[in-house]
Amino acid sequence: MGSKSRKIHRRRMGQFDADTSIPRKMEFHKLLIKGRKKALKYLRAFRVFIFFVLLLQIGTLPGCKIYSAFDSVLNPEWENFEQLPSGNPRLEYIHSIPVIHLYGTPAEMGTQYGTILKKQLEGLEYISTRFFPKKKINEFIHTAIEVEKHLPDEILEFLSKMAETSGVDYYKLLAVNTVPRVTCSALAVWDDATEDGNLLMGRNADYTFKRINKALGLIVVKHPENGYATVSSSFLGLAGAYTGMNEKGVSYGNMLVYNGFEDGETAGGVPVQLLMQSAAETKNSAREMIEYLTSQNHVVPVSVMCADSNEAILAELGKTNFAVREGNKGVLAASNYFYSSGMFETPETDKRFSALMLKARDHYGAFNPGHLKDAMHAARKQNETLQTVLFEPAKMLMHVSMNKVPASKGPFTTFNILELLEK
């Protein structure tokens, strides 16, 4: 090759090198932008920190009180924590998740709850007054008073003692337990659908007010004087349970429904989370629990999925009627819409419901807990999934991710229900 050819060859090689450097420069530019965004995020967090420090130094502004309230609720090591022996009412931590154990009658358990979590409940009460206008709080309380007339005595005893020992206004606690609205989704697979035939059930808990709720999740273990012990994935201040498992392996979770016939709330109904707690303490199968729930009056249209080691069943609960859906070839899913004939005003197609069904189809016959995690993550609600719970009733296991968004991403903490109930 002559000198001229070598020069041309070198020039072409140099041009090729220059061209391939463009993607590298673009990647470097993206990294700079990403780093700048992260730096701004940390700077904003630092400014917030300085703001709160200044509030503390001043000591007289309302911000000091709300900072203290947030500190009480958000502090990962709640100050009332004590490592007490098994068999005692107590708060303990399992992989950073707070777990409260309650024992005895409803009144005794309410007393224990209010005493152990007094500071956190006080903080929650104050925060709620800062997040909601007084008019809205009064509306919540008015609704709660109407519902109160129809609540079971054991729930009223629990709440009154919680209020008495915590010092939090009874009617505000009542509102917390009767007004909350949740938008969730659930999936159950079993028999031929799973790799070993064992039933798996998952539930996402989606909440709009994540600024408050994302730090309030806890596990509540109730050891009642009469009835079955229960383990629920709950929120601070709740007497009932949106999702949980009892000592018989009956697992449950509810979903608010948007396309029912009835609008508004029904006088004479009982909030479903309170009914589920009562059912969990008295029913030893999914079918028994469904039969109980379909015999009750409900405040708003909801769906409830119940499962045990043998089957999963879904109750679509209107305020004046109901329908029961059972699995098709070992698959059952639900989100925020009724699907049974005669239960809905308009049919709806929901992408979260579709995501659950597609995951069940894709892994049919080999479905395992890992696939269930993937399915619940695929069905998450953007910026709202604060708790994800996976159940294995035959093994008495409950896998929980909470107090983060999206919780469906994990990591999950595994609770052995039988071991937890022995404590």
The predicted pLDDT at position 130 comes to: 78
Distance CA 231, CA 74 (A): 22
pLDDT at 161: 98
Burial class of residue 71 in the structure, from the number of CB atoms within 10 Å of its CB (0-12 exposed, 13-18 middle, 19+ buried): middle
**Residue 421: predicted pLDDT:** 95
Sign of CA dihedral 387, 171, 269, 260: negative
Record the tokens describing residue 277, joined without a space. Answer: 């707690």
Measure the CA–CA gap between 362 and 266, rounded to whole angstroms. Answer: 41
pLDDT of res. 9: 39
H/E segment holding residue 93: strand 90-94
CATH T-level topology, domain 185-216+249-422: Penicillin V Acylase; Chain A (3.60.60)
Asked if 301 and 322 touch (Cβ cutoff 8 Å), the reply is no
> pTM score > 0.95 for this model?
no
Report domain extents, the chain.
45-74, 185-216+249-422
Radius of gyration over every alpha carbon of the chain, rounded to an integer in angstroms? 26
In angstroms, the Cα distances linking 129 to 125, 163, 170, 369 are: 7, 17, 15, 41
CA angle at 99 for the pair 147 and 201, rounded to the nearest 5°: 75
Residue 75 has a pLDDT of 54
Instruction: Give me the residue label for tokens 């503390």.
Output: 56
- pLDDT for 351-409, tens place per residue? 999 999 999 999 999 999 999 999 999 999 988 999 999 999 999 999 999 998 999 99
Sign of the torsion formed by the C-alpha atoms of 346, 351, 353 and 358: positive
Give every residue of the chain whose pLDDT is below 70, as ranges.
Answer: 1-85, 180-182, 209-215, 263-267
Q: Which amino acid is at 35?
A: G
Q: In what order do the strands lie in the sheet with 200-206?
A: 331-334, 185-189, 200-206, 385-392, 397-402, 413-416
